Structure 1
Amino acid sequence: MEIETEIQREYNPAHPNFERWQKARNLSDERAKFVESIVSELVFLSGLNVLDLGAGEGSTSQLLSKNNFVVSVEIKRERIIKIQLSDTLHPVLADCINVPLKNKSVDLIILQDVVEHINFSSDFIEKLFFLLKDNGLIFLSTPNKYSLLNLISDPHWGLPFISVLNRHKIKKYFLKYFRKADFNRSDIAELLSLNDIYTKFDKKFSIHLFTNYSVEYLLSGGKGLIWSNFHLSIVRLINSLGLKRVLLKIANDKPGFINKYLTPTFYVLLKKI
């Protein structure tokens, strides 16, 4: 079965990406706290119905379930079994498209590094829109297709220029020759641009970027946002050169040049309108 094959690959120390994946898992609790802090900027996180799509091993779901009711959806069995069922946390083995919930039943949807791995279609966004209550929120994080940093080192493969390729071309030109064992994966990442996000969401949601917030968090020693050796070395270089203040002046939450071509990962709150 393909899902089982992917799980074996994900937890296999011999896989070229194992170290990268393991670092991400080890930082999941810190990343959950970061997600909570951003969402808290727009909503009081208590008594909400939360849907965590592509929940992984459940760190964010576990944290949010302390004061909210959380449905944690994950397609991979090896991950979902690590999420403990409780009165306020219900793990569900399912994909992100076929969520077994009623319309207007959710206050907050978490999409944490998920949309690049699925068929991110208008139908999917429509489904999210109808699941949300009036004024409901989506937390979205996803790597930036056109970020200079990602062009130099793709966040999933650690190689240049792959970030701009679609899923079909990644398979055709890269996996076919260099990562044959990954060729049949169903979740190959196809990154989005800032224009993609605005085009897909702006008719149904108000869009709030959190670039300023995330840059300050990262350069102040916050953990959980990056784990590749390349990105970690960039942060160390910035701090060693005393460039933190300069970057904080440059960083902004506008849909302009900085966020289109420099920001490596988008952190966004989308409010239903």
Structure 2
Amino acid sequence: MGLLPDRSLRDPADRRPAHAAPQAGDEEGGPLTYPGGDPIDQCVHLGREVIGAGLAIGSGGNLSARSPGAHECVVTAAGTWLDRLDRTSFVRVRIADGVAPQGATPSSEVGLHLSVYRARPDVNAVVHLHPQTAVLLDALGVAVRLITTDHAFYLRRVAVTPWHAPGTPGVGEAVAEAVADGTNCVLLPFHGCAVLGETVEMAHRRAANLEEAARLTYQALLLTGGLGPRELPACPPDFLAHRDPGSLI
């Protein structure tokens, strides 16, 4: 009740198998890189992928997206399981005032998403997940190292906010402050992460690389005997000197 009306996730004229690779000309995401469709379709795909990759469990996280320049976004509804999303699982919310015109209940973390869109007009997707390795390292006081070129390129830097209880206004306020300088990856202590992107695809890439960087950092700690005198490795900083921030690798 009050959620978005259901419709097929695929064009009726598209006879490809459901899991066929996207083709040149598919909407959003560019040729042969990410499934086509509108922001809801892409978030449905993203939800299945992040659960399958272990970046969240069940309903542990929430997603949002908007069309570039739009004054409203779609946010997963309260209590939705990310690997079971469909078009009825999203609520449209006005970014300026947080009103959901259809009267449905968005995720309890909707304030986080709205705060990001207000602070960063360039962002069109916000992914909030509970990646266990990244959260564990932060709880131990260990910074996530950007070890590979992918980590360095997609993440650039990882910010950490002060502690705020989930679902409270302080979460959104802290994340908005952390991302105001262009940061796209933020850890929320004892909670999870907020990852941003110009597209759903880019937010997905960053979320995956964040947890991979955390896992490699954890493995490096095991191999080096913990927090001893040895420095943990990191990607050489000059790697980014001649890279276009808007490109893919």
* Structure with greater helix share of residues: 1
* Structure with greater strand share of residues: 1
Pair in the same fold by TM > 0.5: no
- Return the TM-score normalized by structure 1: 0.29
